[in-house]
Structure 1
Amino acid sequence: MKNPLFEEGYRSQFSGHETFPLRYGWLKKAIDATLETADEPNNKRTVFLADDAIARFGVGKNMVASIRHWATVTEVIEDEGDQVRPTAFGKLIFGPSGQDPFMEHHATMWLLHWKLCGRANKTTWFWAFNHFGAQTFRRDDLIQGLLKLAAARGWPKASDTTVRRDVECFLRTYSSTAASHVGAPEDALESPLAELGLIRTIGRRDDYQFARGPKPTLPPSVFALALNFFWERVGNTRTLSFEMIAHEPGSPGRVFLLDEAGLADRLVKLEDQSDGLFRWSETAGLRQVVRGGDFDGRALNSLIRASYKKNRQGEMS
């Protein structure tokens, strides 16, 4: 299987967020603004870049740029020629009749985490979850690892300062920041993805730990959705081995930090939870998953909607 970070022509990304992690309400703001201006000509230049963008979003110029960045990399909005429009996914979650416009459910956070770390668009995010081997680490471990990779791959614009800022934003995205450690009060607000508990601070402030485990708040339908997207990357095959799903870069096991016991438990139950779209097989000591057929857009949307239906019914995944 090809590893995107090592493919010829891969373009690394260590910026765009203006040092601000994703915050509550930002994706809904992006959806609302692009829906309001959808019929305006060349709204790409008016929604986020016009003089009234600061007033529209209620934040400073750099934060406006950050909102656009996060809405784009999570595939909530997209560029179409000279227009910026909400995607079908963006409207499904954050639109006027969306499933979770105010990000009140863990399903939304897991979906966004997969968008950020299941693909290699954001270099630090993908590399940290899919390549960095240590469970406990310090900030500089990530920085030096990325700088070494960037030098080996010949990536431009990967200076020490740029990578350091990107790593700091990454850690603020997933770990809690104590109010006493920041300047302005608004900087103490956590990213919604910190609620997933994927990275913990331990000991001193600069010590961290990846929290590998069963992930009880991860809905089965979001797991199935991620497995399908990973399957598409692998290629035309009806089966995937347990080892690939657990350990391959970009796999659900790596991105969701699932331990092998937790992953195996999910795969065994997957046939019932996915209405037969996936089937667990264990014969002659070979553990693998069989996919029943190709997913269409309707099936994918049904999986997303199922996450919120169960959440509203108070069912634990």
Structure 2
Amino acid sequence: MNKAAADSQTFRFGGHQSFALRTAWLPKAALAIQEGDDVFSDPLRGVVRLGLGKNMVEALRVWVEAYGVATRNNGKWELTGLGKALFGAGGYDRFLEDEQTLWLLHWNIATLRENPFFAWELLINRWSERFFTTTEIMIAFAREAERAGRPLSNVSARQHFDVWLHTYLRGRNGRGEEGIDSPLSSLGLVVRAGDRETAQGRREPVFAFDLDAKPTISDTLFAYCLHDWWGKAFEFEETVPLSSIAFGHGAPGRVFRMPEDEVLARVMRLAAGRGARIELIESFNQYMVRRPARPTETQLLRDLFRQQPAVELIDA
């Protein structure tokens, strides 16, 4: 999706029932779906099987789709190819223990095309500053609601931002499920960065993105995301500027908040690697990246999990 398309898109501010994802939720839901147990069409069944409150089950129904783990086809829930590879029998990361999986989940929700959430669109794909405050985000939310011609209460806007923030920020307060951090908070993508005085003379927290290199993201995962973005944003283009990969809407460099030199280094390694799917070209004092052929999702997933038996679960 390019910027113009994003500006004409309609985004969601709710549906998550004010609950961010919890670590155990996706594995629980994936196991139930794999066993043919419809825990989402029948809320009571979901409460019993998943051991969650009704509102949490409704939130989880939203998250399994948003994170790319499961989808509903012809009235039946089923795991996606990625969901099978991660959580199926012999899956690669059935209990969300690998940081690569968490980065991949972050990628999926940040680049969601069907019914995307505005907090991810704004903060991941549009926000160019390192720092931000709640006040600034609430103003941006109000502008988006006005642009879309839809009502948005201050309470709903704040809940939506809180869900996004609690997805990435460590240190939630509370008991039981309310006190459990989101698994994506371990990525350290968002941190507390002090306080700032508002126009009304109050102090409010300042938050910041981690803009340092991301060594925990493998080159294989970066390649998967690069091709995924390329297919969505430049489906019929064989060549794209390196700058688009680093800074473009929904691009790996922007979504992962990677320094430009790290993006270049990764592309260089991928272009020089055995069986490379891309080429790096220096043209008119800028780098261009060429992709002679578009790999399929199955090929990309097999690359990503090539040393794992889970690849056998992905349909060709």
TM bracket (short chain) = 0.7 to 0.9
Instruction: Find out whether 1:122 has 2:112 as its counterpart.
Output: no
Q: After superposition, what is the alpha-carbon deviation per residue over 1:220-262, rounded to whole angstroms, capped at 9, x for unaligned?
A: 1111111111111223111110111111111111111011111
Q: Which letter maps to 2:178?
A: D
How far is the alpha carbon of 1:26 from its aligned partner?
Answer: 0.9
Q: Which residue of 1 aligns with 2:164?
A: 170
Q: Which residue of 2 aligns with 1:142?
A: 137
Q: After superposition, what is the alpha-carbon deviation per residue over 1:66-111, rounded to whole angstroms, capped at 9, x for unaligned?
A: 1111101112111112211111211111112211011111110111
Q: CA–CA distance in 2 between the matches of 1:35 and 1:301?
A: 19
Instruction: Find out whether 1:292 has 2:287 as its counterpart.
Output: no
Q: CA–CA distance in 2 between the matches of 1:76 and 1:157?
A: 31
Q: CA–CA distance in 2 between the matches of 1:103 and 1:307?
A: 18
Contact 2:96/2:102 (8 A) holds in 1: yes
Structure 2's unaligned 5+ residue stretches are 196-203, 310-316
Contact 2:87/2:94 (8 A) holds in 1: yes
Aligned residues: 297
Contact 1:221/1:303 (8 A) holds in 2: yes
Q: Which residue of 2 aligns with 1:72?
A: 65
| Matches for 1:222-261 after TM superposition, within 5 Å | 222-232=221-231, 233-261=233-261
Range with greater deviation from structure 2 (271-280 or 161-170)? 271-280
Q: Which residue of 2 aligns with 1:132?
A: 127
Residue among 86, 94, 97 paired with 1:101: 94
Q: CA–CA distance in 2 between the matches of 1:106 and 1:279?
A: 28
Q: Which letter maps to 1:144?
A: I
Instruction: Find out whether 1:110 has 2:103 as its counterpart.
Output: yes
Change (3 A) 1:289 1:47: same
Q: CA–CA distance in 2 between the matches of 1:294 and 1:248?
A: 19
**SS class of match (1:124):** helix
**Which aligned segments of 4 or more residues in structure 1 are displaced greater than 6 angstroms?**
none
How far is the alpha carbon of 1:183 from its aligned partner?
Answer: 2.9
Q: Which residue of 2 aligns with 1:312?
A: none
Q: Which residue of 1 aligns with 2:5?
A: 4
How far is the alpha carbon of 1:274 from its aligned partner?
Answer: 7.0
| Matches for 1:300-315 after TM superposition, within 5 Å | 300-306=300-306
Percent of pairs with identical residues: 27
Q: CA–CA distance in 1 between the matches of 2:304 and 2:152?
A: 36
Q: Which letter maps to 1:148?
A: R
Residue among 168, 181, 186 paired with 1:195: 186
| Matches for 1:152-171 after TM superposition, within 5 Å | 152-154=147-149, 156-171=150-165
Q: CA–CA distance in 2 between the matches of 1:143 and 1:130?
A: 17
Q: CA–CA distance in 2 between the matches of 1:20 and 1:106?
A: 22
Q: CA–CA distance in 2 between the matches of 1:119 and 1:63?
A: 21
Q: After superposition, what is the alpha-carbon deviation per residue over 1:11-64, rounded to whole angstroms, capped at 9, x for unaligned?
A: 2111121111111121111111112226xxxx4xx5452423212001111111
Q: CA–CA distance in 1 between the matches of 2:61 and 2:258?
A: 31
Q: CA–CA distance in 1 between the matches of 2:151 and 2:102?
A: 30
Contact 1:277/1:293 (8 A) holds in 2: yes
How far is the alpha carbon of 1:152 from its aligned partner?
Answer: 2.2
Contact 1:280/1:288 (8 A) holds in 2: yes
Q: Which residue of 2 aligns with 1:315?
A: none
Q: CA–CA distance in 2 between the matches of 1:131 and 1:20?
A: 23
Q: CA–CA distance in 1 between the matches of 2:146 and 2:45?
A: 41
**SS class of match (1:227):** helix
Contact 2:43/2:57 (8 A) holds in 1: no
Q: CA–CA distance in 1 between the matches of 2:61 and 2:205?
A: 29
Change (3 A) 1:185 1:58: closer
Q: Which letter maps to 1:12?
A: F
- Superposed CA RMSD: 2.0
